[in-house]
Amino acid sequence: MKKILLFVSIFALGTVNAQQRSKEDVEIIPLVGYSSSNYYGDERFNNSSLTSVNFGVEVDYYFNDRWSLRSGLLFQTMGSKVTSYYKEELDYITIPVNANWHFGSTRKWNLNFGPNFGFLNAARANGRSFKNEVNGFQLGLAYGIGYKIEVNKKFSILIDYQGMTGLTEVPENGYYGIKNAYASFNVGGVFKL
């Protein structure tokens, strides 16, 4: 009985260690999510949150089993419902560059933070383009937490929350001191290369 228990313990320990990542491991993560955004700052026009779908691909490069660099290319819609009949939608291509800290006994949890670089693709107010009135570049602070569900050694499912606080003003002319605030819940497939 002791030999069986010892064998099961060694097997379980080997399985746990096999699921952890190590130096120079790379993961590709296609993801899709549901997001909510709003303006914050000096001017608040009785606005409410704008919801949308976001998607993209991220890459996680591991320095060791605890730290990695997570970046990618994401399509995100930000903006706000300014009144019940008027909304502003700002479509960005964003590039987050986040330090990603993996924690827990099997490193399935992660906290990430870092700068987020956004490039305006389109801006609509009730379907009318107003891209020339919006700052074409957005710098933000990104942060999030996630959990990976291991399916096998090469594939996991990621469930995470990501937030972004804009540091640059939305209007090109700076007339209104408003910035973007963004949050999303995402699901992705994690492929270890």
Q: Which of 125, 127, 126, 123 is nearest to 135 (CA)?
A: 123
Lowest mean pLDDT among 94-108, 110-124, 166-180: 166-180
Using CA atoms, how far residue 145 sits from 45, 66, 110, 171, in Å, is: 31, 14, 6, 30
Is 75:56 a contact under the CB 8 Å cutoff? yes
- The fold for domain 26-192 equals Porin (2.40.160)
Query: Per-domain residue ranges for the chain?
Result: 26-192
Q: For residue 172, how far is the Cα from the chain centroid?
A: 25
Q: CB within 8 A of 110, min separation 6: which ones? A: 100, 101, 102, 103, 145, 146, 147, 148, 160
The pLDDT tens digits of the residues spanning 94-106 come to 999 999 999 999 9
Residue 47 phi/psi, 5-degree rounding, is -80, 160
pTM of the model: 0.84
Is 187:44 a contact under the CB 8 Å cutoff? no
The pLDDT tens digits of the residues spanning 145-166 come to 999 999 999 999 999 999 999 9
